[in-house]
């Protein structure tokens, strides 16, 4: 069967990469002959990567998405008027217009204050709407819907989805007033990402040798949180600097790494490397502090995080990796999506909203985490096991939707 996965890339944001790869891995297990067409934000960079077999990169950059929307709009009118529309199904448009299932893997959509991203999300999936494809919104955060434009867009388009997977209880509550009949509740698909021993070896090479014997704290800064803090004059990087210096003085080893990175770009969108380098400039050289100043794959990051003792993170999918490997984590977040994923583990108290960030608050959260680290580690792994098993039902459900889509079109 043919699947389209949109709103992702293998370059840049490694959370999006992890979601795409987890979808491919788990659906291929159910459908060995599956072919995947991935609409990538960064098609040129992604085509240079070593991708799984039967994965085709399709240009999903904003300019191409806009052009494709206008073509799709005409196709939509042809369908309404019962006119032939085979002219549309050529080149890259053919797999998009004939797929058995379209999977929208945006990590977050239809959120008040982020309407421009919602509009891009809708433009991205419009070819599926125009050609009558089945659309599944893979587990993602949505809501609230208090803003007029966001509420109107949600009421107009969300009922048209075949299936919407709410990623957490808060998202499910936000969706309730819309009275949708197509909502299910599943955790992030990246929980089901599988990695190799080679990924683990490459991750180990980035960490201090075992004979170091110091406990390791990972710090994953975020360009998104950095920008939000800058708007409110919150000293994000100085707080991280002071925290790192304090931990190094106490005998920890601190590893600072980017979870979103575009090695070949100086642009900051989906790229934490500039923030990491600014943080590095604030800290003196110290053998208790090491830096990963390069783009890692989603699995290398998963294995790196799994080898830490603690994590301080502002990137959502760094937290998913921590919850997948039992690593106690303090989160500096900006959306309800952070607390709702932590709440599944009973750890929502480990989250600091960026507006409340200070050295004192971060230190307090870390001390609380440290005191209960063994208990938290065991609890995380127990819940993760249940989540991974539950996610199997989601993959089975979307495989069955794809199968029924093929039968109805044949």
CATH of the domain at 150: 3.40.50.11930
What's 225's domain CATH number?
3.40.50.2000
- Number of domains observed in the structure of the chain: 2
Are 226 and 147 within one domain? no
In a domain, 219, yes or no: yes
Rounded to whole angstroms, the Cα distance separating 323 from 399 reads 26
In a domain, 376, yes or no: no
Are 248 and 276 within one domain? yes
Are 113 and 203 within one domain? no
Residues whose CB falls within 8 Å of the CB of residue 325, separated by 6 or more in sequence, listed in order: 302, 305, 306
**Mean pLDDT value of segment 281-295:** 95
Looking at residue 21, what is its pLDDT? 96
Are 152 and 209 within one domain? no
In a domain, 277, yes or no: yes
CA angle in degrees (0–180, nearest 5) for 218-306-258? 40
Residues 220-247: tens digit of each pLDDT: 999 999 999 999 999 999 999 999 999 9
Are 114 and 18 within one domain? yes
**Mean pLDDT value of segment 24-32:** 96
Q: Enumerate the β-bridge partners of residue 135.
A: 102
Residue 241 three-state SS: helix
Residue ranges of the alpha helices (H) in 132-235? Answer: 148-157, 169-175, 197-204, 223-231
Rounded to whole angstroms, the Cα distance separating 148 from 122 reads 17
Are 168 and 135 within one domain? yes
Are 180 and 206 within one domain? no
Are 178 and 295 within one domain? no
pTM of this structure = 0.94
Residues 347-361: tens digit of each pLDDT: 999 999 999 999 999
Rounded to whole angstroms, the Cα distance separating 165 from 104 reads 10
Backbone angles phi, psi at 137, to 5 degrees: -90, 105
Rounded to whole angstroms, the Cα distance separating 200 from 295 reads 16
**Mean pLDDT value of segment 269-296:** 95
Are 71 and 15 within one domain? yes
Rounded to whole angstroms, the Cα distance separating 377 from 354 reads 25
In a domain, 394, yes or no: yes
**Mean pLDDT value of segment 189-202:** 96
Which tokens in the block code for residue 292? Answer: 């990963």
- Contact between 37 and 95 (Cβ < 8 Å): yes
Are 127 and 211 within one domain? no
- Contact between 304 and 359 (Cβ < 8 Å): no
The residue segments making up the domain with residue 34 are 2-192+388-409
pLDDT-wise least confident of 94-103, 133-142, 329-338, 358-367: 94-103
Are 255 and 290 within one domain? yes
Best CA proximity match to 154, nearest among 187, 183, 193, 128:
183
């Amino acid at each position: 069967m043919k699947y389209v996965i949109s709103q992702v890339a293998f370059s840049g944001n490694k959370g999006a990469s992890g979601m795409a790869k987890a979808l491919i891995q788990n659906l291929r297990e159910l459908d060995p002959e599956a072919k995947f067409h991935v609409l990538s934000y960064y098609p040129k960079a992604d085509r240079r990567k070593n991708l799984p077999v039967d994965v085709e990169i399709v240009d999903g950059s904003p300019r191409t998405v806009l052009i494709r929307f206008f073509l799709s709009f005409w196709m939509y009118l042809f369908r309404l008027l019962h006119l032939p529309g085979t002219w549309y199904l050529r080149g890259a448009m053919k797999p998009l217009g004939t797929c058995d299932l379209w999977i929208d893997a945006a990590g977050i959509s239809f959120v008040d204050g982020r309407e421009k991203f919602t509009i891009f999300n809708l433009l991205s999936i419009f070819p599926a709407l125009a050609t009558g494809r089945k659309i599944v919104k893979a587990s993602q955060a949505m809501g609230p819907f208090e803003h007029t434009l966001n509420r109107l867009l949600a009421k107009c388009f969300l009922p048209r989805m075949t299936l919407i997977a709410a990623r957490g209880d808060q998202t499910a509550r936000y969706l309730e007033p819309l009275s949708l009949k197509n909502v299910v509740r599943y955790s992030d698909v990246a929980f089901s990402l599988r990695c190799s021993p080679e990924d683990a070896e490459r991750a180990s090479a980035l960490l201090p040798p075992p004979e170091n014997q110091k406990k390791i704290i990972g710090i994953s800064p975020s360009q998104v949180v950095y920008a939000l803090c800058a708007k409110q004059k919150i000293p994000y990087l100085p707080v991280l600097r002071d925290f790192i210096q304090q931990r190094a003085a106490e005998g920890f080893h601190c590893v600072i790494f980017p979870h979103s990175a575009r090695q070949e770009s100086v642009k900051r969108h989906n790229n934490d490397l500039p923030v990491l380098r600014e943080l590095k400039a604030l800290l003196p050289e110290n053998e208790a502090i090491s830096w990963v100043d390069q783009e890692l794959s989603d699995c290398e990051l998963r294995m790196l995080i799994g080898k830490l003792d603690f994590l301080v993170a502002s990137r959502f999918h760094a937290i998913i990796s921590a919850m997948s490997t039992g690593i106690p984590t303090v989160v500096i977040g900006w959306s309800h999506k952070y607390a709702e994923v932590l709440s599944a583990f009973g750890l929502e108290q480990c989250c600091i909203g960026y507006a409340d960030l200070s050295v004192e608050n971060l230190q307090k959260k870390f001390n609380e985490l440290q005191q209960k680290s063994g208990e938290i580690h065991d609890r995380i792994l127990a819940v993760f096991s249940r989540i991974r098993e539950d996610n199997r039902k989601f993959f089975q459900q979307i495989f069955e939707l794809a199968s029924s889509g093929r039968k109805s079109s044949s």
